[in-house]
Chain A
Amino acid sequence: MSKIVIDPLTRIEGHLKISTIMEDGVVKEAQSTGNLFRGIELILRGRDPRDAQVITQRICGVCPQSHGIAAALNLDSAFGVSGKIPPNARLMRNLIQGAHVVQDHILHFYHLAALDYVDITDVAKYEGKDSNLNSVKDFIIRGELGPFVPRYEGDYRLPPECNQQAAAHYLKAFEIRRTGQEMVSIFSGKIPHSVGIVPGGVTATPAVDKIISFLWKLRILQDFINNAYIPDVLAIAGAYSDYFEIGGGCKNLLSYGAYDLEGEEPDLTLRKRLFSQGVTSADLKPGKLDITKIAEGVKYSWYQDSTSGQHPTQGETKTEYGKEGAYSWIKSPRYDGKVYEVGPLARVAVTYAHGDPVMKNLVDSALAQLKAPPSVLFSVMGRHLARALSAKFIADSMEKWLLELKPGEPTFVEYTIPEEATGMGLTEAARGALGHWIEIKEQKIANYQCVVPTTWNASPRDDNGNPGPIEQAIIGTRVKDKSNPFEIVRIVRSFDPCIACAVH
């Protein structure tokens, strides 16, 4: 038996270590270790509840907007204005979050994941006139190749022209994701970390110049998704088709749903949303989600055992480093005692399972192009494909929301901070199901708990000893070359982990 330890596992957000025990070239055991604890939930205590949206965005600079939205929904419900948010504010929140998630998916595929599949050094052979590629060629000839080398060597399968085109898209995608960030900024002030998403609505007003500017930036994103992102995912999937059979994992999927399509329903679990709320599994049958069945275990995490198994409304964060058997700062959220994966695959599959016609068409056409059954979705490439389809589904929905905005109409509803209250905010961050829970006493935050997408996906074993989704996806994988464990990093990155989020 031998070990493979990857620390730090880079091109994700934050500090993640993956260690495995190997037997005959196959992963027998895997451990996911979150390597940073900040204690944001402890920092939130005693503060003005309204500040939760400012501070929780700082949990993560890659996905701050989703925390801002989850916090605002959480505070809306605690302040008794859930169901009273003006249509303009609901739409602007959707647009802020939508633009953010779409650019984040693009960032993930090109800047975080692609270098596992694309050999950028093939640009040295480029003979054309593209100025981007010629500048990369000059760079390669000069010979200092950081940050692109060192890297794992060996399994790069694309022909030189494909690598060159992918490298051009890698650079183009920087511009595209920046455009997406500008869209977020138009309605929320700045990004990362905006002050413009607030309980009661948003602070900005939808002026016509903002709407038209947003519209034409949206067109740039849509063009890139249709003509680069989705074709590139399919091209890489073609060359690495064995990755439709690698990294399947737990095959239980959970989505909170996101992007409110109506404003009057105060209960988030009943509200009509673009992405459906629910659960599904390998059979892709729709299941209902019962929020009360979520609990966080800490048996293998560096927290006191007495806090294990609590629902987030009762959740506590009490550290105990060095506890026997524990190996991560990440807790282990489970649904109904079982291991669930969250993320683009989960929200796409849950929405598909619930019969959304647009989503059905998107997924079925992609699978028809691949001549593959839906079961291939449960894999490394399935996650990349689902993420690209998630981007398209959101981007194509945004135009309608944008044109529903009514300049001059309100974007904010007034509230008073209650003496005592509880709240819940549920949404879908780029990386999956995101929940915030608050308890207010004497108009201050008495307790604040976040259960974040990568808390689910990168969780260690739970109190029953079941490994987390990423761990399960790695276990059983054959690693061809121990010194260049491509299989492991490709599986982990297909989840788009965010460790600052997972631990917070």
Chain B
Amino acid sequence: MVKELPVIWLQTSACTGCTISLLNSASPNVRNILIDQIIPGIHVNLRFHATIMAGSGEPAIEVLEDTAKEKKGTYVLVVEGAVPTATDAPYGVIGERDGKPVEMRERVEDLARKAMAVLAVGTCASFSGIPGAAPNPTECQSVKQFLDAKDITTPIVNIPGCPPHPDWFVGTLASILLNGLPKADDLDDNLRPLTFYGHLIHENCPRRAYFDEGKFAKKPGDEGCLYELGCKGPITYADCPLRLWNGGANWCIGAGAPCSGCTQPEFPDLVSPFYQKLADIELPVIGAYWLSGKEEK
């Protein structure tokens, strides 16, 4: 007997980039995730995902509402996007109830309260990200911030990245299926799984030797460390240099582009200008110093 894990993937103030990134998952591939038993004996029953689901309109919304009712406490809610909380206008709407638009915040509140766990996928959901950047026109909050304000205590894991690597999502989901919800020491202070976000980009960067010997690229295409071109690798936690992106095709620094710090709560306001050097930092406690200090902005 195959166990079905109901999953609802809700898109809020977002760009669908996290979804596109998940569709790039190579092993397991999309068929394995949607159709097959992702872990022997368990099938992910993706009931709602607006980008790929067949149904539209009322039948689609019924799936959301029925799942919350019938599968209460047993489904996983994935949120892709920040939660717009401004009350002067409905800046984000997902479907209707009795002919009236239902705002994203109402959907998140209702679905998160009844979920077994919430996965905040991407930097918008994890830390409010781009829509939450100054002046934060729609008063976006991260999912955690939003749930805390509503006293909703459903366990939550952040899987940031703009977008997150598909392995980070799939790996976190697999870990929950195999070992249960992560324990406190499996996550960092920002609720990110240490398996994927345990080390700075800078620690594992193939250009690290250039940094240590003080050889810095002055313009794109130069040999050398990208620190002076604005690389945020010294303060960014993610395993990109080891994992690489898009099936190993490349990664940001591999293309001679500085890391933009996209897995960080500081993204984008405090890691930009993206092409401007970080304030000088003291070695070896890179990151900790910078995060406590002031950036020249």
Q: Does B219 contact A (CB under 8 A)?
A: yes
For A39, give the chain B residue with the smallest CB separation.
B137
Determine whether the beta carbon of A11 is less than 8 Å from that of B92: no
Q: Does A412 contact B (CB under 8 A)?
A: yes
Q: Does A47 contact B (CB under 8 A)?
A: yes
Determine the distance from Cα of A107 to Cα of B134 in the docked complex, in whole angstroms. 33
Determine the distance from Cα of A36 to Cα of B163 in the docked complex, in whole angstroms. 19
Q: Which residues of B contact A182 (CB under 8 A)?
A: 246-247, 249
Whether A48 contacts B272 in the complex (CB less than 8 A), given A5-B96, A410-B221, comes out as yes
Determine the distance from Cα of A414 to Cα of B253 in the docked complex, in whole angstroms. 20
Whether A411 contacts B91 in the complex (CB less than 8 A), given A5-B96, A8-B57, A62-B20, comes out as no
Determine whether the beta carbon of B94 is less than 8 Å from that of A8: yes
Interface size classification for chain B: 35 or more
Determine whether the beta carbon of A201 is less than 8 Å from that of B15: no
Bitwise, B89-101 to A at CB < 8 A (1) or not (0) is 1111111100101
Q: Does A342 contact B (CB under 8 A)?
A: no
Q: Does A181 contact B (CB under 8 A)?
A: yes
CB contact list, B86-137 vs A, under 8 A: 88-96, 99, 101, 129-131, 133-135, 137
How many A-B pairs have beta carbons closer than 8 Å: the answer is 290
Measured between C-beta atoms, what is the minimum distance from A247 to chain B in Å?
16
Partner of A414, one of B17, B96, B219, B276: B219
Q: Which residues of A contact B52 (CB under 8 A)?
A: 11, 111, 147
Q: Does A264 contact B (CB under 8 A)?
A: no
For A217, give the chain B residue with the smallest CB separation.
B249
Q: Which residues of A contact B129 (CB under 8 A)?
A: 58
Q: Which residues of B contact A40 (CB under 8 A)?
A: 130-131
For A178, give the chain B residue with the smallest CB separation.
B24
Partner of A58, one of B62, B96, B130: B130
Bitwise, A33-51 to B at CB < 8 A (1) or not (0) is 0011111101100011011
Interface size counted on chain A using CB atoms at 8 A: 90
Q: Does A158 contact B (CB under 8 A)?
A: no
Bitwise, A317-331 to B at CB < 8 A (1) or not (0) is 001011000000100
Q: Does B175 contact A (CB under 8 A)?
A: no
Q: Does A186 contact B (CB under 8 A)?
A: yes
Which of A6, A35, A184 has the most CB atoms of chain B within a 10 A radius of its CB? A35
Q: Which residues of A contact B40 (CB under 8 A)?
A: none
Determine whether the beta carbon of A150 is less than 8 Å from that of B55: yes
Q: Which of B25-33, B143-151, B287-295 contacts A (4 or more CB under 8 A)?
A: B25-33
Q: Does B162 contact A (CB under 8 A)?
A: yes
Q: Does A191 contact B (CB under 8 A)?
A: yes
Determine the distance from Cα of A8 to Cα of B49 in the docked complex, in whole angstroms. 11
Question: Beyond A150-B59, A187-B255, A203-B255: 7 further Cβ-contacts under 8 Å?
Answer: A35-B92, A36-B13, A150-B54, A174-B23, A189-B245, A322-B89, A412-B219
28 contacts between A and B (CB under 8 A): A7-B61, A7-B93, A11-B53, A13-B15, A35-B93, A36-B13, A48-B273, A50-B273, A50-B274, A50-B275, A58-B129, A58-B162, A61-B18, A107-B23, A112-B51, A142-B43, A144-B45, A146-B45, A150-B59, A150-B60, A151-B54, A189-B255, A191-B20, A195-B274, A203-B221, A204-B255, A410-B221, A412-B219
Query: Which residues of B come within 8 Å of A, CB atoms?
Result: 2, 4, 6, 11, 13-21, 23-24, 26, 29-31, 34-36, 43, 45-57, 59-63, 84, 88-96, 99, 101, 129-131, 133-135, 137-138, 140, 162-163, 219-221, 245-247, 249-260, 262, 268, 272-276
